[in-house]
Amino acid sequence: MDKLSAFISRLLPFAQNELEPFVSLFSEARLSKNGYFSNEGEYATRVGFVTQGVLRAFYRNPKGVEYNKTFFTENNFVGAYSSLITKQKSLINIQSLTDCTFLVADFEKITQLYDHHPKIERFARVLAEQFFVTKETREIELVMLDAGERYKLFQHTYPNLENIIPQYHIASYLGVSPTQLSRIRAKN
C-alpha cells in the first residue's frame, strides 16, 4: 500500500486519515503473464494499481489484427476506463505481458466515497485529467511525428521496456510493422 499512497500523495497531498477510506478498498492481486485484467465485450468493474509488471491495452479488429493502445507499468493505475465510467461493455482488452501484481479495488466502491470524501473525488479528477492529457498527446504524436521520432519518444516514456516485452508489441504501439521497427532501431 506504500507505493499507492506515495503515488497519490505526489498528485495531491493527503493526510493519512484522509487517504485511509480510499486505500482500504484495495487488496493485492496477481496475474500471470498473458492473463487478462479486462476483456472486450465484458463490463469492467475494477481498477488496479500496478505494483510490479507490464500490461498492454489493445484493440482487436474483426480480422484478428491487434493494435496496442498503451502500456501500463509499475506505479500506474490500470483499467478499462470508458467501460467503468459509462457502464457499457469494454471495447479494449488489457493483457499482462509479464507476471504482474496489483492493488485492486471495485470502481463502484471508489465512486461511493466521493460524496463524503471530496478530496478523494478531487484526486480522481486530477488523475482523469492526466489520462486525458496523455491520450491527447499520444494522438497528436501519431499524426505529427514520423516513426523514428515516435520510437525515440517511446524509449523516453518507457525506459527499458523494449528489453522486457516482445518487439512486435512495440511496433504495434508505434503504428509500424516489426520490419520497420527493426530498420528504425538499426539507425539509432
Write out pLDDT tens, residues 13-27: 888 788 899 999 999
Structural domain boundaries, residue 104: 2-115
Q: Is residue 111 part of a domain?
A: yes
Beta carbons within 10 angstroms of residue 48's beta carbon = 23
CATH of the domain at 111: 2.60.120.10
Burial of 129 (0-12, 13-18, 19+ CB in 10 A): exposed
Q: What share of the chain is helix, strand, coil (3-state, %, to 5)?
A: 45, 25, 30
Instruction: Give 94 or 15, the one with higher predicted confidence.
Output: 94
**For 22-66, how does the pLDDT look when each residue is reduced to its tens digit (9 = 90+)?**
999 999 999 999 999 999 999 999 999 999 999 999 999 999 999
Report if residue 44 sits inside a domain: yes
Residue 134 maps to a domain: no
Q: Establish if 26 belongs to a structural domain.
A: yes
Q: State the pTM of this model.
A: 0.91
